[in-house]
Amino acid sequence: MAIPGGDLRYTIGLDLGQSRNHTALVVMERVWHQATVAEFIASGTRGYNGEYRYTVVGAERLALGTPYPRVVSWVKSVAESYGGTLSDVVVDASGVGSAVMDGLRRADIRMPLVGVVITGEQATGPSGGGRTTAGYTTVSRTELLTKLQVMVQERRFRVDKVRCREWDALRRELMVLRLEGKSRGAQDDLAFALALAVWRGVR
C-alpha cells in the first residue's frame, strides 16, 4: 500500500526574538504508521488503516541579541541537515521577521519558506485569515495556540528529549502559556516556534 504523503517529513517552526526575547527553532517530525492486521481488525467498522504520528525532534534557541545574519546562517544549516525530507520552514514574519525572511530567501534555502504574521484577532480557519501585502499568511494568536493546546491535551505528539536541547525550557513555557498573552517576564519563544510547526506540519 502506498504511504500517504511520504513516510517521513519534517517541519521547522521559527520564532524570531530581539534583545529581550530569544530566537527559537523547533522541528516537528511526521511519519506514517501503517496499521497492522490486528489493529485493522480491532478497529471494526472504523476501518483503521493507519495514522500520522508526530514527534518533536529539535528545540533550540540562540543567545539574546544574536545578529540576524547569524540567525539566517543557523536556520540554513539546520534546514539543510534534513535535506529532501524537510517540508517547510515556517517563520514568524511579524515585525523584524520580514527582514529575516528576506535574508533566508537570499541564502537560497531550497525548501518552501512560509512567512506568517501573527495577529491578535480570533481564529478564522485552518488556512489563516488572509494575506499581507508582502504575501505572508495572517494567522491569529488564538488559532495557533488553540491548535497547539489540543495537540498537547490529546497527547498527539511525543518529545525526543535527547534531541531537544531546550526541552526543559520548552516544557516550562508550555506550562505557563496563555491564549490571552504571556505572563510578565515569561518567555514563550520556543512555545510559539512549536505552535508554528504544529500549525503547518500537522495534517
Is 195 within a domain?
yes
Is 2 within a domain?
no
Coil, strand or helix at 78: helix
Give 2's pLDDT tier (boundaries 50, 70, 90): very low
Q: 137-169: per-residue pLDDT in tens? A: 999 989 999 999 999 999 999 999 999 999 999
Q: 34-73: per-residue pLDDT in tens? A: 888 887 888 887 777 878 899 999 999 999 889 889 999 9
- Tell me which residue range forms the domain holding 192: 8-201
Is 72 within a domain?
yes
Give the CATH number, domain containing residue 168: 3.30.420.240
Is 37 within a domain?
yes
Residue 141 contacts residue 36 (beta carbons within 8 Å): no
Contacts made by residues 104-110, CB under 8 angstroms, sequence distance 24+:
104/72, 104/75, 104/76, 107/72, 107/73, 107/76, 109/75, 109/76, 109/79, 109/80
Domain count, the chain: 1
Is 38 within a domain?
yes
CA–CA dist 16, 97 (Å, integer): 6
145: cell is 495556540
Give 125's pLDDT tier (boundaries 50, 70, 90): very low
Coil, strand or helix at 203: coil
- Counting residues of the chain whose pLDDT is more than 90, the rounded percentage is 47
Closest C-alpha among 17, 123, 102 to residue 63? 17
CA–CA dist 125, 11 (Å, integer): 20
Residue 33: the pLDDT is: 85
Is 3 within a domain?
no
Is 90 within a domain?
yes
Residue 62 contacts residue 70 (beta carbons within 8 Å): yes
The separation between the first and the last C-alpha atoms of the chain, rounded to the nearest angstrom, is 20
Residue 43: the pLDDT is: 82
Residue 160 contacts residue 57 (beta carbons within 8 Å): yes
Give 133's pLDDT tier (boundaries 50, 70, 90): low
Q: 68-93: per-residue pLDDT in tens? A: 899 999 999 999 999 889 999 999 99
